[in-house]
Structure 1
């Protein structure tokens, strides 16, 4: 688990295709490596990756086909900058929100504009994820814990303060930038719980307005 509070920005220094999936290396001299061990999890642009090799200033990780399909890693190239966060401990301050590092899908920046000292971003989410994004709710963008300022269909707005622009890769975003999205895990569990016994069926019932009405959730 993570908090969505980025510790430093790393750089992709190696990308190696291996039998259909990928092995990569991330260089991060500014990260505190003193408490990192083989097998530890490091959120890399929001993707929970397992360190299979450590060099002192970098780590190597394997990326499965599943992760490639649901994240922006398939678009990465040498020199790409990535947000990094080590896994939280019982002593970690939960400054953001609970982040699993399990990316739900890829979103896209629609537009960016200046609002006083902050920057405003409008992003588009995949339609199947839009229902989990709520006004003033939490969302993770490339591993960064953020608050949703407005929602309009499959689009939502973010207000990014100067500190976050400097300390994360968000400062480099422009129209068309692809980003990793992780929705609030509570919304996913709530949907599953509302389905009740129907959730155990082979193809599961869909949580629609009709389903909610039929099962007494709406009057």
Structure 2
């Protein structure tokens, strides 16, 4: 699990094709590697990857065909700047929101407008994810925990403050840039609890049950 609070950025130093998969090397002079071990998880632009090799200021990770099919890693070039966050500890401040590192989809930047020292970024909202995104709710963009400040049926707006722009890759975005999206984990589980299962039976929670117990 992660919080979406970026700890450092790194650079995609190498990509090696291994059959249908790839292995990547990510360098970072900023990330604290002192407590990183083989097998640890690091979120890379919001994608949970497992450390397979450690260097003094770098790590390797394998990326499966499944991950390549659902993320932008297959299109990244060496030199690509990457947001990095180590998996959270039980003692970590929950500065963002609960992030799994499992990307739900890809979004595209529609436009960017300055608003004082901040910038407003409008991004496309894939139809299959729209029901999980709420105004003033949380969304993860390339691993960054951000607040949705405005929403319509096919797009949403983020307001990026100078600190976030300075410490993540988001300042490099421009109209047409593509990013990873992860919706709020709680929203997905709530939908599952309230939906019918494959056999047509209702789950453990239903609107009728909520009404019966006085919640509606």
| TM-score, reference length from structure 2 | 0.92
- Which residue number corresponds to residue 161 of structure 1? 161
- Which residue number corresponds to residue 90 of structure 2? 90
- Which residue number corresponds to residue 42 of structure 1? 42
Task: Map 1:13-92 to 2 at 5 A.
Answer: 13-92=13-92
- Which residue number corresponds to residue 148 of structure 2? 148
Task: Map 1:92-107 to 2 at 5 A.
Answer: 92-107=92-107
* Residues 32-56 of structure 1, C-alpha deviations (whole Å, 9 max, x = no match): 1100000000000000000000011
* Residues 197-218 of structure 1, C-alpha deviations (whole Å, 9 max, x = no match): x3243xx79xxxxxx99x6889
- Which residue number corresponds to residue 199 of structure 1? 197
Q: Please give the secondary structure, in 2, of the residue aligned with 1:140.
A: strand
Give the aligned CA root-mean-square deviation in angstroms. 1.8
* Residues 116-145 of structure 1, C-alpha deviations (whole Å, 9 max, x = no match): 000000000221011111000000000000
Q: Tell me the distance in 2 between the aligned counterparts of 1:152 and 1:200.
A: 31
Task: Map 1:203-214 to 2 at 5 A.
Answer: none
Is the alpha carbon distance of 1:50 and 1:175 closer, same or farther for their aligned partners in structure 2, counting shifts above 3 Å?
same
Q: Which runs of 5+ in 1 are unaligned?
A: 206-211
- Which residue number corresponds to residue 190 of structure 1? 190
For these two proteins, the number of residue pairs brought into alignment is: 208
Q: Which runs of 5+ in 2 are unaligned?
A: none
Q: Tell me the distance in 2 between the aligned counterparts of 1:103 and 1:153.
A: 21
Q: Please give the secondary structure, in 2, of the residue aligned with 1:166.
A: helix
How far 1:174 moved relative to its partner?
0.3
Stretches of 4+ aligned residues off by more than 4 angstroms? 215-219
- Which residue number corresponds to residue 118 of structure 1? 118
Q: Please give the secondary structure, in 2, of the residue aligned with 1:108.
A: strand
